[in-house]
Amino acid sequence: MTPALLALLLAAPDAGTACAPPVCRTFKNAQAAFAQVLEAHPSVLGIGEYHELEGAPKVRSALKRFTVDLLPLLDGQAGALVAETWMTTGKCGATEKKAVQEVKKVTQRPDTTEDELSTMLEKAFDHGLKNHILLLSCADYQALMDENGHLDAEKSLLLVRKLVSEKALEVMEKGEAGPGQKLLVLYGGAVHNDVAPLPDYAAYTFGPQLSQATDGGYVELDLLVPEYVAQDDDLPKESWFAPAMKAAAQGKTVLVSPRPDAFFLFFPRTPLRK
């Protein structure tokens, strides 16, 4: 991103308008809000989304909005992307097949998600990022299942945290991105990227580990589609959630930063078709 483009985005109308304590600002568009996050100069940016689920309102997913609206701003700034996904190989037989079926059933993500992930990786490559996905062994697939052959949710969360953090550290050790190099971007679920997780989620997050590994250079960014998070269990408890949702309903992009290394980006609510 050129200095001229950054200056233009940061000067977008509505930037700096207070919407709620502790730190809440509204922006005219998501690009301007994302540019503000990049002004924190992270060496590793852990992006977490609240996933689209089957039956959810038919609005653009966080993944698609990131790919189309935000990813281009990383051109020239980011060196690598680690995506929280993996490809099946068939080498692990029935165990792999059963695990994949269980993951799909439990996560309830629509079929379009896989296409959107592929598009994100293609666009990231076009913008100069080296892509990385997770590699699961046969033992990993087996570890995902409980004794009855069903997906063990806790084991799944622990495994994803382990694999993403290991891949991130590997990328940094190779000098592809991260400290001293271009930005390293991680993209996945909103639980794993927390830099200051709630006690119940602490075991599933890699934020504290990567913050320590980068000497505080890790920054968390959660992407929130209002239609997806309105009924979330935890977010409505935050003092800034209701004012941010109100601003999003008025067509604003909202950026909340409860601490210097953590951001919540609310996309504008999609207008109802008349």
Q: Which two tokens stand for residue 211?
A: 């913050």
Is it the case that residue 110 has pLDDT exceeding 60? no
Q: What percent of the chain has pLDDT over 90?
A: 60
Top-confidence residue, 141 or 176: 176
Average pLDDT, the chain: 86
Confidence (pLDDT) at 135:
87
Top-confidence residue, 156 or 195: 195
Confidence (pLDDT) at 149:
75
12-29 average pLDDT score? 68
Distance CA 51, CA 189 (A): 7
The angle that helices 153-173 and 93-107 make with each other, rounded to 10 degrees, is 100
Confidence (pLDDT) at 258:
93
Is it the case that residue 140 has pLDDT exceeding 90? no
Model pTM? 0.87
Per-residue pLDDT tens digits for 210-224: 999 999 999 999 999
Element (H, E) at 25: strand 24-27
Euclidean distance between the first and the last CA atom of the chain, given in angstroms as a whole number: 38
User: Residue 132 in contact with residue 80, Cβ under 8 Å?
Assistant: yes
85-105 average pLDDT score? 73
Residues near 139 by Cβ (< 8 Å), separated by ≥ 6? none
In DSSP terms, which residues pair with 222 in a beta bridge? 48, 264
Q: What percent of the chain has pLDDT over 70?
A: 84
Top-confidence residue, 114 or 134: 134
Per-residue pLDDT tens digits for 45-87: 999 998 765 566 778 999 999 999 999 999 999 999 999 988 7
Q: pLDDT band at 155, cuts 50/70/90?
A: confident
